[in-house]
Amino acid sequence: MAQAQKITPRAKDFSEWYNDVIIQAELADYSPVRGCMVIRPHGYRIWELMQRALDDMLRATGHENAYFPLFIPMSFLAKEAEHVEGFAKEVALVTHTRLKATGKAGAQAVAVDPDSALEEPLVVRPTSETIIYAMFAKWIQSYRDLPLLMNQWCNIVRWELRTRLFLRTTEFLWQEGHTAHATEAEAEAEARQMLAVYRKFQEDWMAMPVITGRKTDSEKFAGALRTYALEALMQDNKALQAGTSHNLGQNFAKAFNVQYQTAAGGLEYVWNTSWGVTTRMIGGLVLTHGDDNGLICPPQLAPIQVVIVPIWKSDAEQETVLRTAVSVRDDLVKAGIRVKLDGRPELKPGAKYFEWEAKGVPLRLEIGPRDVAAAQVMTARRAGGKAPAKVEGIARTVAAALDEIQAALFQAAKERREAHSIRGATKAQFLEFMKGGGGFAYGGFCGSAICEAEIKRETAATVRVLPDEEFRSPQVPRTCMWCGKPSIAEAVWAQAY
Ligand SMILES: [Zn+2]
C-alpha cells in the first residue's frame, strides 16, 4: 500500500468520506478517461464474490448465461418509442471505423478517416433489450420455446455528466436478465421473482436491508409496463436504488416482432421481463457499512474475511509466534475461510491494523508471545469488540464470529433505517423531515405527476417506491400527504443518489 492517508470523517463531509474510503480501501481509482473508473483488485474481488453468489441464484431459478454484442444498430433503439426517448441523451455512438496518419506531430498525428464512416452508426449498449429481443424473434417460434430465460454479465455505457465512483460512472458492470413468456401473468411472476432474488442477495450477502415496491410512471424504466425496485437507505439518509426488475409487457415484442404459435395454432406476442443489478452495489456496501476508519465488508463478500497479525519483538519470539500463526491460518483455510497472514516484517502491527481496517476485513486475529504461551489468540472485530479465543477449535470459533458479524451488520443497518423513517407524515412534518436530514418518509399519494414534480422541486425528494405490502404502514393513509386529495397508494419518499 502507498502511504496511508487520513479519511475525512463522515460528520465533516460525507461525500469526501465516501471517496476517501474507496481510494484508501483500494476499491477503485479515477481513470484518465473522464467519468470512467478503474476497479482495483480489492474492489473487483468483491464484485467477483457478488457475481458468484448471484449467478448461482440466477441459475437456480432456471436462467442461463449468454453474451450479446456491445454494439447495437442505431435503428434498433428507435423501434421502441419510449425506450429511445429514455436513453437518447446518454448514448455513445460509433460513427467511424478507422483513423489515418496525418503526417503532423503530437496529438494531431492521427485523425478520423472520413472514408470510414459507418452507413448506420452503432450505439454502445446502454442496455440490451433491443439487440436481445431481435435475437429472441429468431429463436422463438412456438409456445414450446417459452419461457426463454437468459442473463448476461457485461459492461454498459451511459454518458453521464456528473459521476461518482461506483454510484454513477459512464461505464459500469452489471448483469441483465431478459426473459420471454407466453402470458402476462408469467411475466409478472418472473419480474416479482427476480425482485425477491435480489432482495435475498442484498440482505443475506450484502447485509443491506431493502424496501421493495413498484415505481411510479415517472420513475419507471423507459419502455416498461411496470418497474419494481429495491431501495436501501444509506448512512447520510439518502436512498440508493439497488436494483430494478421490469415487466416489459409486449412493448418490445411488438417492436421486434417476437411472436409464438400457441398450442391452439394462433399467433401471439410474447411478454418480456428484464432486470439488473450493477457495480453500484459496491458503492451501496460502502455507504451502508463504512465508518471513519474505512470500509466494513460483510463477511459473505469480504475478499479477506480474517487477517492474522503476528506480533513479536525478538527473533526467538518471531519464530514461535509465526509457527502458531501459520497453523491457525492453515486451520482456517481448511475450513474454507478466506484468510491472510500478514507477516511483513517491515511493518509495525499498528500500521497493519490501520491498513486492513481501511480495507474492511471483518475480523483480525492478533497473536503475540503471551498469546502463544496461553494457547490463544486475540480476536478484534472490525465493527468493534475484542476477545481472546482458544487456538484449539479456532476455525469453529472464527466461523461463528463471522456469522455473528454478518447478522449484526444487517441488524444495525436495519435499525438505522427505521430510526430515520417516518410514517403517516403530514405535509408540514414531511417538509421538516426533509430539511432536517431526511430518510424514508411514508405518506399518502394521490398518484399525480404534478404532486411528484412539486415535491421534487421543493425538497429534492422523489417517490422511491410504492412499497410492497410487508413494508406498508399498519395504518395506510387515506389522503395525499401533499395535496390532500384521496390517496391511491402509500409512497416512500426520499432524496436519492
Ligand atoms: Zn397529491
pLDDT per position as a tens digit, 306-316: 999 999 999 99
- For residue range 329-366, list pLDDT tens digits in order: 999 999 999 999 999 999 999 999 999 999 999 999 99
pTM metric for this prediction: 0.96
pLDDT band at 120 (very low <50, low <70, confident <90, very high): very high
Q: Which tops the pLDDT comparison, 3 or 238?
A: 238
Q: Which amino acid is at 310?
A: P
Q: Calculate the dihedral angle through the C-alpha atoms of 363, 364, 370, 372, rounding to the nearest 10 degrees.
A: 80
Question: What gap in Å lies between CA 160 and CA 86, rounded to an integer?
Answer: 14
For residue 392, how many C-alpha atoms fall within 13 Å in the half-sphere facing its CB? 2
- For residue range 88-115, list pLDDT tens digits in order: 889 999 999 999 999 999 889 999 999 9
Q: What is the pLDDT of residue 152?
A: 98
Ligand 1 centre and the CA of 249: distance in Å? 28
Instruction: Report the share of the chain in percent with pLDDT over 70.
Output: 99
Q: What is the pLDDT of residue 3?
A: 53
Ligand 1 centre and the CA of 216: distance in Å? 13
Instruction: Report the share of the chain in percent with pLDDT over 90.
Output: 92
pLDDT band at 161 (very low <50, low <70, confident <90, very high): confident
Mean pLDDT, rounded, for 233-247: 97
Ligand 1 centre and the CA of 445: distance in Å? 6
Ligand 1 centre and the CA of 429: distance in Å? 16
Ligand 1 centre and the CA of 485: distance in Å? 6
The 3 state secondary structure assigned to 257-303 is CCEEECCCCCEEECEEEEEEEECHHHHHHHHHHCECCECCCCHHHCC
Beta bridge pairs of residue 177: 151, 275
Ligand 1 centre and the CA of 422: distance in Å? 18
First to last CA, the chain: 30
Ligand 1 centre and the CA of 483: distance in Å? 4
Ligand 1 centre and the CA of 306: distance in Å? 51
Q: State yes or no: pLDDT of 162 exceeds 90.
A: no
Q: How far is CA 124 from the centre of its chain?
A: 22
Q: What is the pLDDT of residue 401?
A: 98
User: Quick check: 122 and 93 in contact, CB under 8 A?
Assistant: yes
Q: State yes or no: pLDDT of 1 exceeds 50.
A: no
Rounded to the nearest 5°, which phi and psi values hold at 398? -65, -45
Report residue 292 as a C-alpha cell.
Answer: 471513519
Question: How many helices (H) does the chain have, and how many strands (E)?
Answer: 14, 25
Ligand 1 centre and the CA of 460: distance in Å? 16
Burial of 174 (0-12, 13-18, 19+ CB in 10 A): middle
User: Quick check: 397 and 388 in contact, CB under 8 A?
Assistant: no
Q: Calculate the dihedral angle through the C-alpha atoms of 452, 455, 456, 460, rounding to the nearest 10 degrees.
A: -150
Ligand 1 centre and the CA of 53: distance in Å? 41
- For residue range 371-425, list pLDDT tens digits in order: 999 999 999 999 999 999 999 999 999 999 999 999 999 999 999 999 999 999 8
Q: What is the pLDDT of residue 425?
A: 87
Mean pLDDT, rounded, for 451-470: 96
Ligand 1 centre and the CA of 48: distance in Å? 44
Ligand 1 centre and the CA of 417: distance in Å? 25
Q: What is the CATH number of domain 14-91+126-289?
A: 3.30.930.10
Ligand 1 centre and the CA of 454: distance in Å? 9
Ligand 1 centre and the CA of 450: distance in Å? 7
Ligand 1 centre and the CA of 455: distance in Å? 9
Report the DSSP pairing between strands 71-73 and 117-124. Answer: antiparallel
Sign of the Cα torsion 386, 389, 394, 400 reads negative
Q: What is the pLDDT of residue 122?
A: 96
Report residue 127 as a C-alpha cell.
Answer: 442496455
Write down the CATH superfamily of domain 304-404: Anticodon-binding domain (3.40.50.800)
Q: What is the pLDDT of residue 4?
A: 58
Report residue 385 as a C-alpha cell.
Answer: 469488540
Question: What gap in Å lies between CA 86 and CA 84, rounded to an integer?
Answer: 5
Ligand 1 centre and the CA of 448: distance in Å? 6
For residue 79, how many C-alpha atoms fall within 13 Å in the half-sphere facing its CB? 19
Q: Cell 411472476 maps to which residue?
A: 189
- For residue range 248-261, list pLDDT tens digits in order: 999 999 999 999 99
Ligand 1 centre and the CA of 171: distance in Å? 37
Q: What are the domain boundaries of the chain? A: 14-91+126-289, 93-125, 304-404, 421-494
Report residue 255 as a C-alpha cell.
Answer: 417492436
Beta bridge pairs of residue 340: 307
Beta bridge pairs of residue 489: 445
Ligand 1 centre and the CA of 496: distance in Å? 20
Q: What is the pLDDT of residue 6?
A: 87
Q: What is the CATH number of domain 421-494?
A: 3.30.110.30
Ligand 1 centre and the CA of 486: distance in Å? 8
- For residue range 27-61, list pLDDT tens digits in order: 999 999 999 999 999 999 999 999 999 999 999 99
Residues 6+ apart with CB under 8 A from 109: 101, 102, 103
Taking 3-state DSSP, the helix, strand and coil percentages for the chain, each rounded to the nearest 5, stand at 40, 30, 35
Whole-number CA gyration radius for the chain = 26
Q: What is the pLDDT of residue 414?
A: 98
Ligand 1 centre and the CA of 218: distance in Å? 14
Q: State yes or no: pLDDT of 435 exceeds 50.
A: yes
